[in-house]
Amino acid sequence: MSINYKTFTLGVEEEYMVLDKETFELKSHEQKIVQEGQKIIKDKVKAEMHQAVVEVGTDICQDIDEAYKDVALLRKTIADIAGTLDLALGASGTHPFSHWEKQLITDHIRYNEIVNELQEAARSNLIFGLHVHVGMESRELANHIANSTRYFLPHIFALSTNSPFWEGRTTGYKSYRTKVFDKFPRTGIPDAFDSIEAYDNYVKMLIKTNCIDNAKKIWWDLRVHPFFNTVEFRICDIPMTVNETIAIAALFQAVCARIYMLRSKNMNYIQYSRPLINENKWRASRYGIDGYLIDFGKEEEVNTRALIYELLDFLDPVLDHLGSRHRIEYVHKILERGTGADRQLAVFETTKNLTDVGRYISGCFLEGVE
């Protein structure tokens, strides 16, 4: 059975912080960035629930280099627009010191509904994430791959950790963003579903019983997308730089292709239960790449970095087919220089000043953009 690797297209969504140019506090842009952006890049930029957030999304990209070009162009375009409005941008899972209570909510029917239902949990959800869509030839295949790739979520999430501060405090977490988002319903690691029909029946039950009005209100760390033939990975903090975003997107794409390669040989990766994977997710959020994850096969703790190297070895057979080896090489750079969280903490350790951390985050926004 030959594998068509061109099936595994990519879509990348990033959420950016809008900052005051002088103080690096979060600042409402009153949707001006979105309005100006839509004149240039159409619907690839949109408003988010909080007015200090801008969301962008790429086109469907045929490979990882195309994804790099699109994300780099989006970062550059939005940064240029922000500059003309005397604003700055940054990419961090949480803002180091701004308080959510002071941030304005976008007046939009969907956001009004969410705030009305979830109340303080929604208002305080001032976080910034990365979503990666990987194309699938069918929803049945998407369900199979979603089930099997759940195990790898904490490993890749550890590399993205980029939110060590919350409202002016050091949280002790490398990703506090996930702790903030935990207050929402239908979040976290999903269960495995026996079939796509089982997943669809679950969604139908929630809609029928007025739990949700559509499947987009399922905010798991990984989901079969309700409207597209994609698996959507939602676990990661927004990385500080474009090269980190692209390395992580390449990892998600490669994991999908590798699971598909196994399936083509009538093999599968062993599936673990949600409570076990959750243990690793918690460890990744707390310690990033500098802790230990559980190797469930060996039933022992293993250094997270060692498990990431094992993951790279596991993915190796598909990298040349996907043309992504040079992008995944950047994972070594992340392991060497630290994640966004590690670098934020290093700045704070040196200066003891969170404004300097905000300045550093903003200064890194266009790093790696050619």
- Residues 149-193: tens digit of each pLDDT: 999 999 999 999 999 999 999 999 999 999 999 999 999 999 999
pLDDT of residue 280: 98
Residue 19 corresponds to which amino acid?
Answer: L
Q: Which residue has the tokens 């699109």?
A: 70
**pLDDT tens profile 201-254:** 999 999 999 999 999 999 999 999 988 899 999 999 999 999 999 999 999 999
**pLDDT tens profile 20-56:** 999 999 999 888 999 999 999 999 999 888 899 999 9
Q: Sorting pLDDT into bands at 50, 70 and 90, what band is 114?
A: confident
Calculate the CA 222 to chain-centre distance.
10
| Residues contacting residue 200 through CB under 8 Å, at least 6 positions apart | none
- CA-closest candidate to residue 207, choices 217, 197, 196, 221: 217
**8 A C-beta contact, residue 10 and residue 58:** yes
- In b/e form, how buried is each residue of 342-370, taking b as 16+ CB within 10 angstroms? bbbbebbeeeeebeebbbbbbebbbebbe
Class of domain 5-363: alpha beta
Q: Sorting pLDDT into bands at 50, 70 and 90, what band is 121?
A: confident
Domain extent listing, the chain: 5-363
Residue 302 corresponds to which amino acid?
Answer: V
CA 48/CA 311 separation, integer angstroms? 34
Residue 294 corresponds to which amino acid?
Answer: I
**Average pLDDT score, the chain:** 96
**8 A C-beta contact, residue 180 and residue 125:** yes
Residues in the chain: 370
pLDDT of residue 1: 63
From 117-126, 134-143, 162-171, 296-305, the region with the lowest mean pLDDT? 117-126
